[in-house]
Structure 1
Amino acid sequence: MGGGGAARAEGEAIPDGARPGGAYDRYVARLAAEDKFSGVVLLSYRGRTVLSRSYGMADQERGIRNHEGVAFNLSSAGKPFGPVALLQLVERGEVRLWETVGRYLTGFPPEIADKVTIHHLLTGTSGLESPPEDLARIFGSREEVREFYGQWARRAKAVAAPGTPTHHAGVEVVVPAQIVEAVTGMTYWDYVQENIFARCGMTGTGFYTRPQWLTDEHIAHSYMRQADGTRVDAVRNLDKGSPDPFHPGKNPGRSFVDQPGDGGFATAPDLVRFARALTEEGTVLSRPYAELATAPQRPKPPQGGGFAARTGPAPVPADAAFGSYTMPVGLVGGAWLKGRAGANPGSVASWNVYPDSGWVGVILANHDDVPFRELIEREIRAVTGRP
Structure 2
Amino acid sequence: MLIGALPFAAASASQAPANEQARRLIRQIMQELRIPGLQITVVKDGQIVLSEAYGLANVENGVRASRDTRFPLNSATKAFTGVAIAQLAEQGRLDLDASASRYLDDLPAAWREVRVRQLLAHTSGLPDILDANGLLGGGSEAQAWTAVTARPLEAAPGQRFAYNQTNYVLLARIIAQQSGMSYERFLATGQFSSARMARTTFGDSYDLVPDVATMYSLAPRATDAADAPSRLSHWFYDIPPLLWAGGGILTTADDTAHWLVALTEGRLLGDAARARMWSAERLPDGRAGPWAGGWPVLRASPDLQVAGIGGARSAFVVYPERGVAVVVLTNLVGANPQQFIPRIADCYARDSSTPRHERVALARQQRAAIAGP
TM-score interval for Structure 1 and Structure 2 normalised by the shorter chain: 0.7 to 0.9
Percentage of identical aligned residues? 24
Tell me which residue corresponds to 1:180: 175
Determine if contact 1:321/1:328 at 8 Å carries over to the other structure.
Answer: no
TM norm structure 2: 0.78
Report the CA distance between 1:368 and its aligned residue.
3.2
1:109 is displaced (CA, Å) by 2.3
Aligned CA RMSD, in angstroms, stands at 3.2
Among residues 259, 263, 274, which one is paired with 2:243 in the alignment?
A: 259
Work out the CA distance in 1 between the residues paired with 2:88 and 2:97.
13
Taking the aligned partners of 2:13 and 2:150, their CA distance within structure 1 comes to 54
Whether 1:354 and 2:354 are equivalent positions in the alignment is no
2:298/2:305 contact within 8 Å kept: yes
> What SS does structure 1 have at the residue aligned with 2:200?
coil
CA separation of 1:339 and 1:206: change in aligned 2, threshold 3 A: same
Separation (CA, whole Å) in 1 of partners of 2:151 and 2:202? 25
The answer to whether the 8 Å contact 1:327/1:340 transfers is yes
Q: Deviations over 1:236-257 (max 9, x none)?
A: xxxxxxxxxxxxxxxx1x3355
Give distance in 2, aligned partners of 1:148 and 1:89.
Answer: 30
Matches within 5 A, 1:136-285: 145=141, 147=142, 150-151=145-146, 154-155=149-150, 157-208=152-203, 210=205, 212=207, 214-216=208-210, 218-227=211-220, 228=228, 229-235=230-236, 252=237, 254-257=238-241, 259-263=243-247, 264-280=249-265, 282-285=266-269
TM-score relative to the length of structure 1: 0.76
Q: Is the 8 A contact 2:119 2:168 kept in 1?
A: yes
Structure showing greater radius of gyration is: 2
Is the contact between residue 150 and residue 178 of structure 1 (CA under 8 Å) also seen in structure 2?
A: no
Alpha-carbon distance, 1:122 to partner: 1.7
In 2: Cα distance, 1:103 partner to 1:52 partner = 44
Query: 2:297 matched to 1:329?
Result: yes
The question of whether the paired residues in 2 share the 8 Å contact of 1:39 and 1:55 is answered with yes
Could you report, residue by residue, the CA deviation over 1:341-380 in whole angstroms, capped at 9, with x for unpaired residues? 1125xxx111112222322101110023526354223223
User: Where in structure 2 are the equivalents of 1:65-84 lying within 5 Å?
Assistant: 65-84=64-83
Are the structure 2 counterparts of residues 278 and 155 from structure 1 closer, same or farther at C-alpha, using a change threshold of 3 Å?
farther
CA distance in 1, matches of 2:186, 2:278: 21
User: Does the 8 A contact of 2:70 with 2:251 survive in 1?
Assistant: yes
Specify every segment of 5 or more residues in structure 2 that has no aligned partner in the other structure, as ranges. Answer: 221-227, 351-373
**Cα distance, 1:150–1:195 mapped onto 2, change above 3 Å:** farther
Unaligned runs of 5+ in 1: 139-143, 236-251, 301-319
Asked if 2 retains the 8 angstrom alpha-carbon contact of 1:9 and 1:48, the reply is no
Between 41-50 and 330-339, the greater mean CA deviation after superposition? 330-339
1:121 matched residue in structure 2:
119
CA pair 268-73 structure 1, distance change in 2 beyond 3 A:
same
Paired residue secondary structure (2:347): helix
**8 Å Cα contact 1:72-1:366 kept in structure 2:** yes
C-alpha displacement at 1:215, in angstroms?
5.0
Contact 1:297–1:324, Cα closer than 8 Å, also in 2:
yes
Aligned partner of residue 31 in structure 1, secondary structure: helix
Per-residue deviation at 1:152?
5.3
Give the structure 2 partner of residue 288 of structure 1. Answer: 272
- Counterpart Cα distance in 2 of 1:26 and 1:266: 25
Following TM superposition, the consecutive aligned residue runs of length 4 or more in structure 1 with deviations greater than 4 angstroms are 209-212, 330-333
Any conservation in 1 of the 2:317–2:338 contact (CA below 8 Å)? Answer: no
- The aligned amino acid for 1:261 is A
In structure 2, distance between residues paired with 1:137 and 1:123: 21
Residue pair 2:290, 2:296 contacting (<8 A) in 1 also: yes
Report how many aligned residue pairs link the two structures. 334
Which residue in the other structure is 2:12 paired with?
A: 9
* Structure 1 pair 369–208 and aligned structure 2 pair: CA distance change class (3 A): closer
